[in-house]
Amino acid sequence: MRNMIWMLLLFTMVACGQQPPPPTKEDSVRMYIGRADDLGAMGKWKDALGMMNKADSIKPGDMSILHLRGTVKGRMGDYSGAVEDLDRSIGLCTVEKQCRILHLTRATVHNEAGHLDLACEDWKLTGGLADFEIKQYCK
């Protein structure tokens, strides 16, 4: 009997329009980043960029969002846009280990754009993450 009362109460709440709380800004940002990741995995870079732009509109100037959006732009071949976002992301970075990853990403973009000298500068700032590339490509 007690279970039936609880079930009736639950159904009444649902029927009366009890809604879950709306998503927070962080929830929305995570959702857009997740969608961008899924779209990128399918090679739909333009759509992934749209999702990253939505995340940026909710949380503008966020280091992680700028890094991910720069990565997407690099995959699309928009190297100047990628470097712009990565420059901003690096400028916001305060944790050395994170900064090394950002430099590694920007080095990859510079390398793909044919700017080996700039790639070498960034590879040297990765704290050993790019030793192979430095030995292989840099003087």
Q: Look up the pTM and report it.
A: 0.82
Instruction: Give the model confidence (pLDDT) of 36-95 as tens digits.
Output: 999 999 999 999 999 999 999 999 999 999 999 999 999 999 999 999 999 999 999 999
**25-137 CATH fold:** 1.25.40
pLDDT tens digits, 10-40: 566 655 566 666 778 888 999 999 999 999 9
Q: Where would I find the beta strands (DSSP E) of the chain?
A: none
Contact 83, 93 (CB under 8 A): no
Q: Are 133 and 123 in contact (CB under 8 A)?
A: yes
How wide is the angle at C-alpha 91 spanned by C-alphas 69 and 45, nearest 5°?
A: 10
The values of phi and psi at residue 35, to 5°, are -65, -40
Domain locations in the chain as residue ranges:
25-137
Please report, to the nearest 10 degrees, the dihedral formed by the alpha carbons of residues 135, 136, 137, 139 taken in order: 40
Residue 7: its pLDDT value, please?
62
